[in-house]
A and B are shown apart, each in its own frame.
Chain A
Amino acid sequence: MTTSTIIQTIVALGIVAVALVYVLRRVFKTSRGQGDCGCGCGKNCKCKNKPGKEY
């Protein structure tokens, strides 16, 4: 095994692990919705912290 192959394997497996953790978190935390302000998920997630306009 060359150094390049070892590095490639470590990086690739790291990416796969991160992806797996992300998907699992997403699946088990569905109730938080899509979370963007105005996304229609009904959670009003990011709107709450938007600074808004100055009058």
Chain B
Amino acid sequence: MKCKKYMNTEQNKDNKTKTRLLDNEPVGSSVQVVRVMGEGAFRQRLLEMGFVRGAKVTVLKNAPLQDPVEYMIMGSHISLRHSEAAKVEVTDKDAEFCDLEDAFNGTVETTVAGVDPMSDNVLRVALIGNPNCGKTSLFNNVTGAKEKVGNYGGVTVDSKEGWFSVGGRKVQLVDLPGTYSLTEYSPEEMYVRTYIRDHHPDAILNIVDAGNLERNLYLTTQIMDMNIPLVVALNMWDELEKSGDKLDIEMLSRLLGARMVPMTAYNGHGVKEVLEATMAAIDESENETRHHNVNYGTLIEENIKQVSEMCPQLDRYTVLKIIENDQHALHLIDGQSNADQVKSTAAELRQAIERDYNDDIVSIITDLKYGFVRGALAEVLTPNPDRATGETKPGYSLDRLLTNRWLALPILLVLMWLMFEATFTLGAYPQEWIENGIGWIGEWIGKAMPEGILRDLIVDGIIGGVGGVLVFLPQILILFFFISLLEDSGYMARAAFIVDRIMHRVGLHGKSFIPYLIGFGCGVPAIMATRTLENHRDRIVTILTVPFMSCSARLPAYLLLVAAFFTAKQGLILMSIYLIGILVAALTAIVLSKTILKHDKTQFVMELPPYRKPTARNAIIHMWSKGKQYLQKMATIILAASIIVWALGYFPRHEGQTPQEQIENSYMGMMGKAIEPVVAPLGFNWQMGVSVLTGAAAKEIVVSTMGVLYTGEADATEESASLKEKLQTSTKPNGEPVFNPIVAYSFMLFILLYFPCIAALAAIKREAGTKWMVFEIFYTTVVAWLVSFIFYQIAILL
């Protein structure tokens, strides 16, 4: 190795190599990384994303609000805030100093004894790769599952298991969260590491983005050290071919000592070959196998050997981690008799390496791994000669428009508006057909069945309740269609990039915007999606504020009330409800992050994926899966709740009373009257109070409860009237209408803000703990009451 001695800043000054901070570089400039300052998770993340010595960085653009900044490094687009870029020391792109290619020492071989892959009766293959490299696409393709995929990192937040068969042998495939490396700094990295350690998969199927090998193969170098049979699937092979780059797969396979197979997961090309290669690797492992590992040079290799001899049970990866002072790796030897001796020896060796390289151990190992990858790629990858150096790869041209300084925010707002307007207007047509159909069925059953309790249950309870919610199915499908387009196109990460500065102001991370957007669909996956946030307090603040993003289950209530009481600008009114939710979430985040969840600002290191054309198939699968869930909910919890609400409104029976008197004197009426004083200052009657209570089980039940309760108010001529018409004509005992636009808006505000459904509360409990779940119940309800109260009282005065 020509250049293992590293220069620090002082030496740079002596050598007159001008170094400066990346933060000060103007847009359009290209520089070379000298080092990343600071310590801990942020530094580690930057190193593993390619900010290593000698790497070329191009400053692409500032976000519309000037922060963060988009950089291109190793063909990837990464966003960093100015304050974070100020921690990266850079120099001229042509400055001569140690290049990473000089660190290429080839591989060393480790011999591993044969294992019986069927020792635990299950053949298990783990899918590992960088975020957004296509692991879940392959998983879905192979197992027939329909796990969520999206064009941004962090869609998979825990492991998913599925099965496939090759040549009659049944294999379990495990989809693990995307990770850039296997260090100990972020939850997903630890998750993957722990999984491999505890479950010992029979083979690792490493998915890499063929268009971004340099960064993706860094993780491969870590997996190589684990001495587990490894197959590398070169995914998105079609994009590599389209780009004009040429890759010598056979040579790369020889250099890394692992089978490499080209594949395009989304259309299934090459998948069979990948699986066959995986099975061949498993079969080989039954005999003594030689694994290739990165050669770190004489000094480090000697040190690895020394520690390995003291801990023969550990694999090379863990031994290296012990030398790196990785706390989790050190815990693994705690029970060992010579643990103290191993730790002190590792510390001495670490100091010796750091002295020799004049850098810290983490940087040294990262630089050497990247050096190995770069050296290998120099041999096997021929870039398209027609593409100018530094030119961005295909798939980013839309950024000129979508993250444009002046247009980005207006476009984001227009897209949001378009989503809600289309949900409202396009959905109205099929909604009317379903409404007519349900009305007809109710009428027919009413006439066909003899009078009695069962007929009342079916017509008023089941059809009135479930039918009231079922009519909104088209709108739910349209909303999820739009969310699917945003997720698959790569716009989600751009939205986070555009709004990061605003999010930062309220004490949150730009990445929190992704759970927020998912929260418009459903709070449960949105709460799960907060796992991509590295900082625990960021996660808690996001989890507690996600329920203010109005989920699709609340949509039926808004659609009903907006259609009934607002004649103009219905799309805007609907959007205003969502915006108020965002505003309350922002205010809550400010208060929480400045009081009980106070913490230092967190970093914004995020990858901006290339834009990809959303496929109709994926959008329809996503829509269908959500539609199916909606219908399943309808046939289960909403049906059951409607029946109970009906029973509570039907009993006890009083002879000779009008339907309205009967329902007022029912158990439901009694409950409603009991809570009426609490909700009356908000402009609500007891039926509305009861509706929000029953909505605890699922938010759609707010509408189904109203459907049941207002059935009693309909007279003979209104028997087939829709719920909307019933609400419009509903009157108080003094003859005044119950609803008007002010009451309807106050009611919508309450539905928007009050406590989330039981499924979301369970998710909060799982992710944040019981304490925060209880806090959420009280906090959201108090906020909902206050906001509705203030709005209603001010509006009636005006």
A and B together in one complex: yes
A47-B165 CB under 8 A given contacts A23-B637, A31-B762, A36-B632: no
- Tell me if A27 and B524 are in contact (CB < 8 A): no
Partner of B143, one of A4, A9, A50: A50
B140-197 residues with Cβ-Cβ distance < 8 A to A are: 141-148, 157-167, 173
Binds A, one of B59-67, B88-96, B450-458, B490-498: B450-458
A3, chain B: closest CB distance, angstroms: 11
- Tell me if A16 and B276 are in contact (CB < 8 A): no
A50, chain B: closest CB distance, angstroms: 6
Partner of B157, one of A36, A42, A51, A54: A42
Q: List chain B residues, Cβ under 8 A from A44.
A: 158-161
- Tell me if A22 and B640 are in contact (CB < 8 A): yes
Q: List chain A residues, Cβ under 8 A from B632.
A: 34, 36
Q: List chain A residues, Cβ under 8 A from B606.
A: none
- Tell me if A37 and B641 are in contact (CB < 8 A): no
- Tell me if A15 and B643 are in contact (CB < 8 A): yes
The chain B residue sitting closest to A25, CB to CB, is B640
Cα distance, A52 to B123, chains bound together (Å): 14
B323, chain A: closest CB distance, angstroms: 36
- Tell me if B454 and A20 are in contact (CB < 8 A): no
B623-667 residues with Cβ-Cβ distance < 8 A to A are: 625, 628-629, 632, 636-637, 639-641, 643-644, 647
Please, what's the 1-or-0 string for B57-81, where 1 marks a CB less than 8 Å from any CB in chain A? 0000000000000000000000000
Q: List chain A residues, Cβ under 8 A from B144.
A: 50-53
- Tell me if B629 and A34 are in contact (CB < 8 A): yes
The chain A residue sitting closest to B643, CB to CB, is A19
- Tell me if A42 and B452 are in contact (CB < 8 A): no
- Tell me if B759 and A34 are in contact (CB < 8 A): yes
A43, chain B: closest CB distance, angstroms: 9
Chain B interface helix/strand/loop/mixed: helix
**Interface residue B342 (Cβ < 8 Å from any Cβ of A):** no
A23-44 residues with Cβ-Cβ distance < 8 A to B are: 23, 26-27, 30-31, 33-34, 36-42, 44
- Tell me if A27 and B629 are in contact (CB < 8 A): no
B437-455 residues with Cβ-Cβ distance < 8 A to A are: 450, 452-455
Q: List chain B residues, Cβ under 8 A from A50.
A: 143-145, 162-163
Partner of B625, one of A4, A15, A26, A38: A38
The chain A residue sitting closest to B143, CB to CB, is A52
Please, what's the 1-or-0 string for A1-25, where 1 marks a CB less than 8 Å from any CB in chain B? 0001101110110011011101100
- Tell me if B452 and A8 are in contact (CB < 8 A): yes
- Tell me if B143 and A12 are in contact (CB < 8 A): no
Cα distance, A20 to B522, chains bound together (Å): 25
- Tell me if A53 and B522 are in contact (CB < 8 A): no
Q: List chain B residues, Cβ under 8 A from A55.
A: 164-167, 272, 275-276
**Interface residue B333 (Cβ < 8 Å from any Cβ of A):** no
The chain A residue sitting closest to B632, CB to CB, is A36
- Tell me if A40 and B759 are in contact (CB < 8 A): no
**Interface residue B544 (Cβ < 8 Å from any Cβ of A):** no
Cα distance, A7 to B454, chains bound together (Å): 9
**Interface residue B305 (Cβ < 8 Å from any Cβ of A):** no
The chain B residue sitting closest to A6, CB to CB, is B452
Q: List chain A residues, Cβ under 8 A from B528.
A: 40-42
Q: List chain B residues, Cβ under 8 A from A31.
A: 762, 765-766
Cα distance, A52 to B762, chains bound together (Å): 30
- Tell me if A8 and B163 are in contact (CB < 8 A): no
Partner of A15, one of B161, B457, B763: B457
The chain A residue sitting closest to B696, CB to CB, is A27
Cα distance, A9 to B454, chains bound together (Å): 7
Partner of B454, one of A8, A23, A39, A47: A8
Q: List chain B residues, Cβ under 8 A from A37.
A: 145-147
A46, chain B: closest CB distance, angstroms: 9
B446-487 residues with Cβ-Cβ distance < 8 A to A are: 450, 452-457
- Tell me if A40 and B758 are in contact (CB < 8 A): no
- Tell me if B644 and A20 are in contact (CB < 8 A): yes
A51, chain B: closest CB distance, angstroms: 6
Partner of B759, one of A9, A33, A52: A33
Cα distance, A12 to B462, chains bound together (Å): 11
Cα distance, A26 to B161, chains bound together (Å): 25
Q: List chain B residues, Cβ under 8 A from A20.
A: 640, 644
- Tell me if A38 and B158 are in contact (CB < 8 A): no
B741, chain A: closest CB distance, angstroms: 34
**Interface residue B361 (Cβ < 8 Å from any Cβ of A):** no
Partner of B644, one of A8, A23, A33: A23
- Tell me if A40 and B525 are in contact (CB < 8 A): yes
Q: List chain B residues, Cβ under 8 A from A26.
A: 636-637, 640, 697, 758
A52-B142 CB under 8 A given contacts A42-B157, A44-B159: yes
The chain B residue sitting closest to A31, CB to CB, is B762
B256-294 residues with Cβ-Cβ distance < 8 A to A are: 272, 275-276
Cα distance, A46 to B316, chains bound together (Å): 37
B643, chain A: closest CB distance, angstroms: 4
Partner of B522, one of A12, A19, A22, A40: A40
- Tell me if B145 and A47 are in contact (CB < 8 A): yes
Cα distance, A5 to B454, chains bound together (Å): 9
Q: List chain A residues, Cβ under 8 A from B457.
A: 12, 15-16
B441, chain A: closest CB distance, angstroms: 18
Q: List chain B residues, Cβ under 8 A from A27.
A: 697, 758
- Tell me if B453 and A23 are in contact (CB < 8 A): no
> Which of A4, A23, A38 counts the most chain B CB atoms within 10 A?
A38
Partner of A47, one of B143, B167, B275, B644: B143
**Interface residue B207 (Cβ < 8 Å from any Cβ of A):** no
Partner of B639, one of A4, A19, A39, A53: A19
A16-B162 CB under 8 A given contacts A26-B637, A37-B146, A55-B276: no
Q: A37-B145, A42-B157, A48-B161 are in contact. List 16 more A-B contacts (CB 8 A).
A: A16-B647, A30-B762, A36-B629, A40-B148, A41-B525, A41-B528, A41-B763, A42-B158, A42-B528, A47-B143, A50-B162, A52-B142, A52-B163, A52-B173, A53-B165, A54-B165
25 A-B pairs (CB sep. < 8 Å) = A4-B450, A5-B453, A8-B450, A8-B453, A9-B452, A9-B453, A11-B454, A16-B457, A16-B643, A18-B640, A19-B644, A20-B644, A22-B640, A30-B758, A30-B761, A37-B146, A40-B522, A41-B763, A42-B524, A44-B158, A47-B145, A50-B144, A53-B143, A54-B164, A55-B276
